[in-house]
Amino acid sequence: MGGIRGRAQRAIGAALLAALAGAGCASQGFRQIDLSAPVGSAAGTLSVAVDRVLLDEQTVDSGMTGDTALVVELAVHNAGARPFVLKPSALWCLMQLDAEKPGETRLLPPSVSGDGAFHGAPAERTELAPIEVAPGQTRSFWVLFSGYRFPNSDIPRRITLTFQDPTGRTLEVVLADPARGTLRWNVATQPTAWMFGVQNIALYGGYTRGNLVGTRLAHVAQRGRFLWDFGISSQLFILMRGQLSAPLFSLAGTGFDAHLAAPLLAWGEPQTPSRLGPYAGLNGSVLIANEATALENAQGMPIAPPVYGMLAPEIGVELDVGALHVAGTPFPLTSTTRNPLPRWTARLGYLHTWIGHGMADGYTTSLCLVW
């Protein structure tokens, strides 16, 4: 440990620069880590237990950045006859890659601390106040460690906390170890994401016939077995036949859509699954006829072009390909989400449309990318 500490000190200068970013963590969202086994350590009259570990959502989803924040909640029990004073500034979070290569060990410096459970970092940076534990007392507190991106920061490492016990000996608490299955960190993947894609609607009978093509941007989320999304779309309707008034046989549209899917069948590798299931959706749009020139009445006053509304419920099948995973980080993260958000989504469906003053049946296809 002495060799590791000696080499790790050379990283403190750069790491402390990242600690200044700790003040901005008040607005960050955090995701709780599921510790599959109790984590703690004891030496002499002092014992330490880890109550909770939290990691900021951006790091879980995208990897290490200059805003990475790791929060550890600790409970320290002093069974000795003298008070024990712990300086959070002396509490080190070490990330060890190889015991035979101590120069590769990185340090996350403590940035902010507080009593009790963590409910969010202060809006302004505070000092790392000493934690005094009286004889026979158990004291709970939290420490926020600020992270930073470095070479090979996507390789899982052994994560430990170290500090000095009352006798001056080094007390080590192992938070995670990729070499031990029970000391990996279980965390849920991101529950929401953005979706962008293209959509085609073909109306082939009834009040009108034509093809509507467009792009859509949607917010997609996962809830248990179900996937749902809600978004907006920009469209161009090419009129082939019907009773809609459009001198240029085209209408420009904008609207919304919403879908709910239930993937029932799954196959492929867990890292790149494919899932198939039914879905139901609703499309609503406002269509404005395209005109070659501005319309005017007999008195020369401008006339608005024809405007139509469209409402179209749909049902069909959805194919989801791939999955969003937790990012590569020095923390050994394992996803616990059974139904992660997909990378790609393709749909084929039937729809019944109320458009203008009539109705038309058709089908719809779409292909969307999720990120």
Of 139, 356, 99, 142, the closest CA to residue 245 belongs to: 356
Q: What angle do CA 188, 50, 100 make, to 5 degrees?
A: 85
Q: Look at residue 202 in the predicted model and tell me its pLDDT.
A: 96
pLDDT at site 154: 92
Q: Which amino acid is at 364?
A: T
Which residues are within 8 A (CB) of 48 and not within 5 positions of it... i.e. 6 or more apart?
40, 41, 42, 74, 75, 76, 77, 171, 173
Q: Report the C-alpha gap between 201 and 367 in whole angstroms.
A: 12
| Beta bridge partners of residue 70, listed in sequence order | 55, 145
3-state secondary structure of 253: strand
Neighbours of 184 (CB within 10 A): 21
Cβ atoms < 10 Å from Cβ of 9: 11
3-state helix vs strand vs coil in the chain, percent to 5: 10, 55, 35
The rounded distance, in Å, linking the Cα atoms of 86 and 133 is: 8
Which domains can be identified in the chain, with CATH numbers?
2-187 (2.60.40), 192-370 (2.40.160)
Half-sphere exposure of 158 (CA within 13 A, CB side): 17
Measured distance CA(219)–CA(235) in Å, rounded? 18
pLDDT (0 to 100) of residue 203 = 93
- Say which residues have a Cβ less than 8 Å from residue 57's Cβ, sequence separation at least 6: 28, 29, 30, 31, 190
Tell me what pLDDT residue 166 has: 78
Going residue by residue through the chain, which has 371 residues, state the pLDDT in tens, using 9 for 90 and above.
444 444 444 443 334 334 433 334 444 689 999 887 788 888 888 899 999 999 999 999 989 988 899 999 999 999 988 899 988 888 889 999 988 888 889 999 898 998 999 988 766 656 788 889 999 999 999 999 998 899 989 999 999 999 887 777 888 999 999 888 778 899 988 889 999 999 999 998 778 999 999 999 999 999 888 999 999 999 999 998 888 888 888 999 999 999 999 999 999 987 889 999 999 999 999 999 988 666 555 555 667 888 999 999 999 999 999 999 899 999 999 888 888 999 999 999 999 999 988 999 999 999 999 98
| pTM of the predicted model as reported, rounded to 2 decimal places | 0.74
Residue 11 near residue 146 (C-beta atoms within 8 A): no
Single out the residue of 80, 73, 72 nearest to residue 108, CA to CA.
Answer: 72
Spatial distance between the Cα atoms of 113 and 4, rounded to a whole number of angstroms: 25
Alpha carbon 144 to chain centroid, angstroms? 20
Q: What is the DSSP string of 133-165?
A: E-TT-EEEEEEEEE----TTTTS--EEEEEEE-
User: CB of 262 within 8 A of CB of 277?
Assistant: yes
What is the reported pLDDT for 77?
Answer: 93
Question: Closest by alpha carbon to 62, among 149, 186, 178?
Answer: 149
Closest CA to 250 of 215, 216, 211, 204: 211
Determine the length of the chain: 371
